[in-house]
């Protein structure tokens, strides 16, 4: 369940995506910050959380971090697939390192629809 701040952040992100505004990636990063340390589940049901430090995301189940640039590649790819296919059918569609973690996060943020 989302709190008031999280709902507001998701609303701003969706609005920014809908208008195609240039600051879309900054808005995504801002929204990701609001959801830090929240529990998520991978497609296989494994629980994880993440923390943002500078320009990197650190996931509780992973030793390596995912850079902001990689997150943005996955984000743009998710939007492309969502537009073309109406949904994103699994993390592999994102085609980036860390997709198994980014996929459920993007679903929770309302960026993409899942299976």
Digit-by-digit pLDDT tens for the chain (115 residues) are: 788 989 888 888 888 777 776 688 888 999 999 999 999 999 899 999 999 999 999 999 888 899 999 999 999 999 999 999 999 999 999 999 999 999 999 999 988 886 6
pTM recorded for the entire structure: 0.82
HEC sequence for the chain:
CCCHHHHHHHHHHHHHHHHCCCCHHHHHHHHHHHCCCCCEECCCCCEECEEEECCEEEECCCCCEEEHHHHHHHHHHHHHHHHHHCCCCCHHHHCCCCHHHHHHHHHHCCCCCCC
Q: Report pLDDT for 21.
A: 62
């Amino acid at each position: 369940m989302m709190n008031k701040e999280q709902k507001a952040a998701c609303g701003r992100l969706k609005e920014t995506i809908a208008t195609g505004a240039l600051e879309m990636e900054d808005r995504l990063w801002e929204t990701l910050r609001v959801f830090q340390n929240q529990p998520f589940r991978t497609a296989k049901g494994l629980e994880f959380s993440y923390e943002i430090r500078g320009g990197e995301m650190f996931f509780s189940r992973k030793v390596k971090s995912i850079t902001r640039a990689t997150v943005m590649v996955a984000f743009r790819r998710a939007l492309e697939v969502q537009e073309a296919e109406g949904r994103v059918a699994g993390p592999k569609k994102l085609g980036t390192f860390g997709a198994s973690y980014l996929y459920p996060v993007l679903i929770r943020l309302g960026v993409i629809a899942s299976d």
